Amino acid sequence: MSEDALTTVNIDGAARGNPGPAAFAFVIAQPGRQPVEEKGCLGHKTNNVAEYTALVKALARAAELGARRLLIKSDSELLVKQMNGEYRVKNEDLQELFQEAKELSRHFDSVRLQHVRRAENGDADRLCNEALDGVEGKKPAPAKTRERPKTASADRRDAIRADAVEALEAAAHAWAQGDARTPRPVDVWEQLWSILEDHGIIRAARGR
């Protein structure tokens, strides 16, 4: 493999109940090599912590494999925008993982993060479910399931509100700069929908 070859990394994290039983997974694809897959359980965590844990573990493994240029794909829009500097990381539980991911990224020649729809992240999604189903004793699910509890705790409501407000504040700041077309209202709606999905409030019903 040439030193400038691009390594593609798909990451995923899930928490059933959010917070609840959580898992991470990643798939590393390097030209001319068999893909490297890894998955594992994390105990009782939030979905966002699981997503960031997947990123940190994938970066560490990619370094071990000698990768130099990374394209990281994630279906967590929040993670991608935070890592790309578009959103701030306000949640204390994510601050340490965010800083660790930034530090690990410095060991590569380049690291680019790209948001993809869940349907484009199928292998990592499958591995996450396999890890969770191994813990819960169920058959592997065909797609990620973030179950919604009957009632949401005050902490959970605060987390949802913080993520949604952060997305809206970022959009309002961009619009205040004078370009009412960027971001498009439909893109802001997609961000809010993604936040609600990540917190298990709604299910992925639009083919994400």
Which domains does the chain possess? Answer: 6-136 (3.30.420.10), 154-198 (no CATH)
Chain-centre distance for alpha carbon 107: 21
pLDDT, one tens digit per residue, over 103-140 is 999 999 999 999 999 999 999 999 999 999 985 444 44
Q: Where are the alpha helices (DSSP H) in the chain?
A: 47-64, 77-83, 92-105, 122-136, 154-176, 185-198
pLDDT at 155: 64
Residues 6+ apart with CB under 8 A from 144: 12, 14, 118, 125, 128, 129, 204
Q: Which residues of 101-129 are buried (b: 16+ CB within 10 A; e: fewer)?
A: beebbeeeeebebebeebeebbebbbbbb
What's the token pair of residue 2?
């040439």
CA 16 – CA 31 distance, rounded (Å): 34
Is the pLDDT score of 89 beyond 50? yes
pLDDT (average), residues 150-169? 69
Q: Is the pTM of this model over 0.85?
A: no
Confirm if 166 and 94 have CB atoms less than 8 A apart: no
Q: What percent of the chain has pLDDT over 90?
A: 60
Give the helix/strand (H/E) hosting 74: strand 69-74
pLDDT (average), residues 169-195? 75
CB atoms within 10 A of CB 47: 25
Is the pLDDT score of 185 beyond 60? yes
Q: pLDDT higher for 22 or 164?
A: 22
pLDDT at 127: 97
- The CA–CA distances, whole Å, from 37 to 62, 91, 123, 152 equal 11, 29, 9, 34
pLDDT at 205: 44
pLDDT at 161: 76
Is the pLDDT score of 53 beyond 70? yes
pLDDT (average), residues 171-197? 75
Q: What is the mean pLDDT of the chain?
A: 85
